Structure 1
Amino acid sequence: MPLTRPNQELRRDLQGLASDLKWSAVELMRIAERLSQAGNEHDAQAVIRICQVMQAGEDRLSTYGDEVKAGRIERNGNYIKS
């Protein structure tokens, strides 16, 4: 069954947010590497922990997008129901 337009938009939004988190985590990992190379290991490790949280969020958003595609989550007007 094809997705309704609101569900297509929801899935696209979730995928976009997941992509933004992934890009941000990659950039932060580069910063962490530079911090580590500069001898600031404490801050580098803090940034890496932030990246891990962001990557977990990315995974959740991607899973939600898959659930929208499978019809387990749908947008109904301004509300999302599962």
Structure 2
Amino acid sequence: MTLTNPNQELKRDLQGTSSDLKWSAVELMRIAERLSLAGNEADAQAVIRICVVMQAGEDRLVGYADEVKAGKIVREQNK
């Protein structure tokens, strides 16, 4: 199925935001590791919990992008 320009844009936006979340979670995990090594385990665990939430959001966005590709989610063209 060929995607319309608005749907291609939507898919790219979803994939881009998903990638941003993934990159941010990786960086936060590095920060959590440094916090833990510095003896600040409570804050390290808080940052890890944030990463888990971000990774779940990343997974949802990837799923939405797949649904756009399959034609299950459609962005209407501006009239």
Q: Report the TM range for the smaller structure's normalisation.
A: over 0.9
2:32 alignment partner in structure 1: 32
2:42 alignment partner in structure 1: 42
Q: Which amino acid aligns with 2:36?
A: S
Counterpart secondary structure, 2:11: helix
CA RMSD of aligned residues (A): 0.8
Question: What are the superposed Cα offsets for residues 6-61 of structure 1, whole Å, 9 maximum, x if unpaired?
Answer: 00000000000000000000000000000000000000000000000000000000
Structure scoring higher RCO (CA < 8 A, sep ≥ 6) equals: 2
Give the share of equivalent positions with the same residue, in percent. 81
TM-score (normalizing by structure 2):
0.96
Q: Which runs of 5+ in 2 are unaligned?
A: none
Counterpart secondary structure, 2:75: strand
Bigger strand fraction: 1
